[in-house]
Chains A and B, each alone.
Chain A
């Protein structure tokens, strides 16, 4: 039997012989041990620095300890599809944001907004031209003049003055 196992490992058996032998090894624990032992000897001879003892038994034991996940296959696939769809949507959104932001930053957009603001404000042009007198009269008594000095008079000579 040991001779046969050795021959099998060396690849000296015919296919039908090998199948019969493997079938027997599966059902005979001592033969199985021999089979594993031969493999171990072979491994040690080929890679002496990686000596391992009964690794397969330990792997098997760990496999038995692992919980068995009973999940339908289809759902995992669906989740993957959904994740992909979401990330695709996110990247589309990102592209959209960039486009939108570049539109916001575009030089034409800013004056438009500014114009809208001035349009919304109930500014009367006559008042605007007249308001400097009041601003000036107010300024001299305002604490802001005390703190900022003449700088606060900028209100009265600001560009607004020329928008008559």
Chain B
């Protein structure tokens, strides 16, 4: 009888072990998918039309991503509403707004910062319950569905539809409380690889060179420049420098790790802005700190755009701005816990 019991126990333990293993392997494979997604986003040529849905709105855009020997080129065009375009290349971002090209941001001279580090991917399972949800058809392709359910209410749930062959995300949804849709991207048509129009690359490349040429000729004095790039501060300072600013955030949701701390220039700002970035692997929270210059701009408030929430507040002559793909109460909680170390 005793022997029988022991046998049963062994069997039970074995079963538990097997099921635990199966669970772990499922999580591991989901994380492998995620790694593939990150790789594919940068290394794949693709073009397609996608629908972005948020706050009772639907917008249609076309995205084109090509990999050239020097770097990636990416173009995002709006297909409805006013014509808008964003081009990214080599850490530079160009915006076409009102038929005018503006360089809005640049990371030139700085290495591409990987915002999704391998160790962050591994840490995901401590913040999210990861479930594979079978396969679904998106934009004529069969995709694999993976759900990331947060373990607290300080972040959103993420659902992704991965194209298994290429690793591209063909659909991504952010879900809030009670699985309410916060925002969603979905390709309606996508071409992966093959012959993709690259004619626009050359115009961008020449524009980029021209702009940097102008900047070189006037060195760091951009005051006298007119036109679209008059607001653009010199390249060097724009890139931002890594600093240890001494700013701290005490009430971050569990699992958010600091991935970056820089001092940067921002358009329309006189003083450098300190930016701290924290990430839990799927979403990030940026904390911006700058001296409050007493403008009417510096009032308290919350702005929401899809999953992105921004909270703004002046505290002791400093303007704090917290931005992140997290619920409104989280950005507010984070802002209210910003302290200068030693205070």
- A interface, CB within 8 angstroms of B: 110, 114, 121-124, 126-128, 130-131, 133-138, 140-151, 153-162
A residues in contact with B101, CB < 8 Å: none
Cβ-based interface call for B114 (8 A): yes
The list of the 6 closest CB pairs from A to B, nearest first, reads A124-B301, A138-B286, A146-B116, A142-B284, A138-B323, A150-B74
A134 surroundings in chain B (CB, below 8 A): 266, 286, 288, 310, 321, 323
- Nearest CB to that of B54 among chain A residues? A158
Most central of A127, A137, A153 by chain B CB within 10 Å: A137
Min C-beta distance of A98 to chain B, whole Å: 24
Q: Knowing A124-B299, A137-B266, A137-B288 touch, does A146 contact B38 (C-beta < 8 A)? A: yes
Q: From the candidates B268, B277, B297, B305, name the one contacting A135 in the complex (CB within 8 A).
A: B305
| 16 extra interface residue pairs, beta carbon distance < 8 Å, beyond A141-B113, A141-B286 | A124-B299, A124-B303, A127-B312, A128-B303, A133-B267, A133-B268, A140-B93, A144-B282, A144-B325, A146-B38, A147-B34, A147-B37, A150-B76, A153-B93, A154-B52, A157-B84
Q: Which residues of B contact A142 (CB under 8 A)?
A: 115, 277, 279, 283-284, 286, 325
Q: Check if B310 sits within 8 Å of A127, measured CB to CB.
A: yes
B324 at the interface (CB under 8 A from A): yes
**DSSP class of A's interface residues: helix, strand, loop or mixed?**
helix
**CB-defined contacts of A145 to chain B, threshold 8 Å:** 115
Can you give 9 contacting A-B residue pairs, CB < 8 Å? A135-B305, A135-B323, A141-B113, A141-B259, A146-B38, A151-B52, A151-B185, A153-B88, A158-B305
Look across to chain B and name the residue whose beta carbon is closest to the beta carbon of A126.
B297
Number of interface residues of B (CB under 8 A): 72
When distances are taken between beta carbons in the complex, the residues of chain A under 8 Å from B59 are 154, 158-159
> Would you call B302 and A130 a contact (CB within 8 A)?
no
Q: Give the docked Cα–Cα distance between A126 and B310 (Å).
A: 13
Q: Which residue of A lies closest to B324 (CB)?
A: A138
Q: Does B86 contact A (CB under 8 A)?
A: yes
Contact assessment for B305 and A155 in the assembled complex, using a CB-CB cutoff below 8 Å: yes
B84 and A146 contact, CB distance less than 8 A: no
Residues of B within 8 A of A158 (CB): 52, 54, 57, 59, 305-306
For chain B, residues 51 to 107, give those with C-beta under 8 angstroms from any C-beta of chain A. 52, 54, 56-57, 59, 61, 63, 65, 74-76, 78, 81-82, 84-86, 88, 93, 95, 97, 104-105, 107
State whether B277 touches A149 (Cβ < 8 A).
no
* Known A-B contacts A141-B115, A143-B283, A159-B81; A148 and B301 likewise in contact (beta carbons under 8 Å): no
- A127 to B299 CA separation, bound complex (whole angstroms): 8
Residues of A within 8 A of B163 (CB): none
Chain A contacts for B297, CB-based, 8 A: 126-127, 130
A131–B324 Cα gap in the complex (Å)? 12
Nearest neighbor of B50 in chain A, beta-carbon distance: A151
B160 within 8 A of partner (CB): yes
* B52 partner residues in chain A, CB cutoff 8 A: 151, 154, 158
Among B84, B185, B299, which residue has its beta carbon within 8 angstroms of that of A161? B84
Most buried by B among A130, A133, A141, A148: A141
Task: With a 10 A CB-CB cut-off, give which of A144, A156, A161 has the most chain B CB atoms.
Answer: A144
Expressed in whole angstroms, the Cα–Cα distance for A40 and B85 within the complex equals: 100
Nearest CB in chain B to that of A150: its residue: B74
Q: List the A side residues contacting B281 at CB < 8 Å.
A: 143
Whether A131 lies near B279 (C-beta < 8 A) is no
In the bound assembly, the distance between CA atoms of A126 and B303 in angstroms comes to 11
For residue B312, which residues in chain A have a CB less than 8 angstroms away from its CB? 124, 127, 131
Q: Which residues of A contact B169 (CB under 8 A)?
A: 147-149
Nearest residue in A to B284 (C-beta to C-beta)? A142
B309–chain A nearest beta-carbon distance, Å: 10
Closest residue of chain A to B73 (Cβ to Cβ) is A150
Q: Are B63 and A150 in contact (CB under 8 A)?
A: yes
Q: Is the CB of A153 within 8 A of B76?
A: yes
